[in-house]
Chain A
């Protein structure tokens, strides 16, 4: 009996990263993957960072150690780390909003009405409100990132 190859042979490059010459939803898929991995790795780093900063709050009944906290915040308050935080804001907002779009798509909400296949065979799913929702979430992600820039750089660093 002939065996069936069920492995995902497209791999990371062709399967995920090569989104050019594909449709808009494929670009959103690639960005969802990249932002998810990025925010996930940041989360692990954030757990480590906060566990270090928590030492400032040991024995907090007697005042804790504000100096440890202040020193850590001084070390992190610069353009390099705040640029990193800004990327985290962009990635997390995009990932969250696109996640909501995906949940709606899976429930069949805002996808186009199904029609018999006819040339040029554009799937109905990318004709409906989902496409506008995708564009809207990208725009909203950038708007909220501008607000993040205001908080991190104008208020945070005093630019």
Chain B
């Protein structure tokens, strides 16, 4: 994928994270009845049941933005074709593992995985 396309996706996912991150913070504070109430077992279960798919979208945006960000930083430190390709694939594998692990958690919260 072209660097300009990756950068555009970096900006778009950044805006998505800003919106969904604000939603996440709101649920953990005033919208959740205060932090203590928001992290209770019943509240967390209720939030995941209602917004599980929104968290999945949040996970997609975060995984891309963070691991592409790490890739950009690592490529900026040192240059070279082999190094750049290795960093890219390492970030793809690490990002995929993180995404799958986070998806597993959301599926458990949704009651899909037992």
Residue B35 at the chain A interface, CB threshold 8 Å: yes
Give chain A's interface residue range (CB within 8 Å of chain B): 35 or more
Which B residues are CB-close (under 8 A) to A1?
Answer: none
Q: Closest CB of chain B to A95's CB: distance in Å?
A: 9
Residue B1 at the chain A interface, CB threshold 8 Å: no
In the complex, the answer to whether A36 meets B18 with C-beta atoms within 8 Å is: no
In the complex, the answer to whether B29 meets A151 with C-beta atoms within 8 Å is: yes
In the complex, the answer to whether A47 meets B73 with C-beta atoms within 8 Å is: no
Which A residues are CB-close (under 8 A) to B102?
Answer: 47, 50-51
Which A residues are CB-close (under 8 A) to B70?
Answer: 37, 40
Which partner residue on chain A sits nearest B24 by CB separation? Answer: A92
CA gap between A59 and B109 in the complex, in Å? 10
Q: Mark B3-31, 1 if CB is under 8 A from A, else 0.
A: 00000000100110110010001001100
In the complex, the answer to whether B101 meets A103 with C-beta atoms within 8 Å is: no
Which partner residue on chain B sits nearest A44 by CB separation? Answer: B98
In the complex, the answer to whether B114 meets A96 with C-beta atoms within 8 Å is: no
Q: Which of A18-26, A64-72, A116-124 contacts B (4 or more CB under 8 A)?
A: A64-72
In the complex, the answer to whether A36 meets B69 with C-beta atoms within 8 Å is: yes
Residue A4 at the chain B interface, CB threshold 8 Å: no
CA gap between A12 and B76 in the complex, in Å? 9
In the complex, the answer to whether A96 meets B36 with C-beta atoms within 8 Å is: no
Residue B104 at the chain A interface, CB threshold 8 Å: yes
Which B residues are CB-close (under 8 A) to A50?
Answer: 102, 105
Residue B66 at the chain A interface, CB threshold 8 Å: yes
Q: Which 6 A-B pairs have the closest CB atoms?
A: A40-B66, A54-B108, A151-B35, A156-B35, A66-B41, A54-B105
Contacts A/B (CB < 8 Å), 17 sampled:
A8-B76, A8-B79, A36-B69, A40-B67, A40-B69, A43-B62, A43-B98, A47-B101, A48-B101, A51-B101, A55-B108, A57-B108, A58-B114, A151-B28, A152-B35, A155-B34, A156-B36
Binding site for B on A (CB under 8 A): 6-8, 11-12, 15, 33, 36-37, 39-40, 43-44, 47-48, 50-51, 54-61, 64, 66, 69-70, 73, 89, 92, 96, 99-100, 103, 106, 147-148, 151-152, 155-156
